[in-house]
Amino acid sequence: MVYKKPFVKEEYDKRIISVKKSMQDAGFDLLICQDPASMNWLTGFDGWSFYTPQAILVHLEESAPIWFGRAQDAKSARITTDIPDNNIIGFSEHLVHHRSEHPFDELAELVVSRGWGRAHIGVELDAHYYTARAHRHIVNGLPNATISDNREIVNWARLIKSDAELIYMREAGRIVTDTMNKAISRIKPGVRQYEIIADVYHTQTMGFDHKFGDYTSLCPLIQVGEGTSTPHLTWTDEPLPNQGLVVMEIAAARRHYHAPLTRTMHLGKPPADIAKLAQVIVEGGDRAMAAARPGVTCEEVEAVWQTVLKRHGYTKESRVGYSIGLNYPPDWGERTASLRPGDSTVMQAGMCFHFQSGMWLSDYGAAISEPFVVTEQGGERLSDVARELIVIS
């Protein structure tokens, strides 16, 4: 078989060097990364095996990373990464869902066997799959180590995208454009929600010019009528009504790089309040994205949005955006920079965000969002779907 790695080896080497620099600054000898996006970003490791404990280890004095995971997935590490064979370590099968033991007992033994039992170790204390039990087994297995929260050190390293990464971001943007336009073309009274979603999945996987889409970190979301007042409902068998709101939030992913996008549709003539809300969302988003240049902080961009909102008498408490890039389920956000008050992260060229301008009021909601990349000219939109309340007549 031919497996095309998403990046050349030099790209991964650069990433490891940059993370080692962050480790030195933070006082860590060793990182244990379980977030599948961090694992992939550091090494290229890919596969839906993140439901069992696994990790990439990076030690300051070890040139290559170490892959640790289930024995049956070791071959995936051999296929998808350049990690040398002696750094690919499978754990014993009986540890899967064991009542008292845990795969990370063997991870701790591995760390000791490499002579790192007294290391300063940074763990991803809040990574989705780094469970409290997993952490307990690492702590118990490494009594002489100093173990602390690495505070998303790799997530922060992922924040600025390289030119090679931006190619995938833009391709994902093109796929999500095609996918949202496909969904919009299917929205008619009487069409059932799941029929639209089936086409969304098909389009987002087919991609374009053999640039296929990967699975996205959230499933496609659709809300109808009163359901638009909350953002995370999924599809049902309900036929679309003759009149009313439909909000869809979907993404596309190229080699796991995500471009998410939200649009609001109205079946029939929209009431004035909804039309106005949509107009304000578009205006606020346009102004804020224009301000998203290198040197500006995340909270300053959010303040531009809030100014527009306030002038029209609206409030939105939830953040209006978050950084995006390489990710795996359950979330396409990077859990680092957010567009919200108090976030003083300084924007730099190559950072990517999802400007999520969703407004969820008590009885209905609307969202017209954009994925964008920070450039000297302001936020460059990665997708190209009509920025307006889309009226289906």
Q: Which of residues 120-159 bind a copy of itself (CB under 8 A)?
A: 123, 125-136, 149, 151
As a whole number of angstroms, the distance between CA 382 and CA 370 comes to: 7
CB of 248 to a copy of itself, least distance (A): 13
Using the Cα atoms of residue 21, residue 349, residue 218 and residue 253 in order, give the sign of their dihedral. Answer: negative
The encoded tokens of residue 76 equal: 């995936």
- Give the footprint of a copy of itself on residues 279-298 (CB under 8 A): none
Nearer to a copy of itself by Cβ, of 16 and 281: the residue is 281
Candidates 17-25, 271-279, 317-325, 369-377; binding stretch for a copy of itself (CB under 8 A): 317-325
59-88 mask for a copy of itself (x: CB under 8 A)?
A: ------------xxxxxx--xx--------
As a whole number of angstroms, the distance between CA 361 and CA 343 comes to: 25
Using the Cα atoms of residue 119, residue 125, residue 129 and residue 131 in order, give the sign of their dihedral. Answer: positive
- In DSSP terms, which residues pair with 294 in a beta bridge? none
As a whole number of angstroms, the distance between CA 290 and CA 380 comes to: 8
As a whole number of angstroms, the distance between CA 165 and CA 334 comes to: 15
With CB under 8 A as the rule, give the number of residues binding a copy of itself: 88
Query: Judged by CB under 8 A, which of 11, 109, 331, 388 binds a copy of itself?
Result: 331
As a whole number of angstroms, the distance between CA 69 and CA 80 comes to: 14
- Count CB-CB contacts under 10 A for residue 125: 14
User: Does 4 help bind a copy of itself (rule: CB under 8 A)?
Assistant: yes
Nearer to a copy of itself by Cβ, of 356 and 383: the residue is 356
Nearer to a copy of itself by Cβ, of 16 and 324: the residue is 324
* DSSP type of residue 218: S
User: Does 168 help bind a copy of itself (rule: CB under 8 A)?
Assistant: no
CB of 99 to a copy of itself, least distance (A): 7
User: Does 368 help bind a copy of itself (rule: CB under 8 A)?
Assistant: no
As a whole number of angstroms, the distance between CA 175 and CA 363 comes to: 32
- Give the footprint of a copy of itself on residues 214-273 (CB under 8 A): 214-215, 218-219, 221, 224-227, 229-238
Quick one: which of 153, 154, 375, 179 has its CA closest to 258? Answer: 179
CB of 386 to a copy of itself, least distance (A): 25
Query: Judged by CB under 8 A, which of 18, 148, 181, 205 binds a copy of itself?
Result: 205
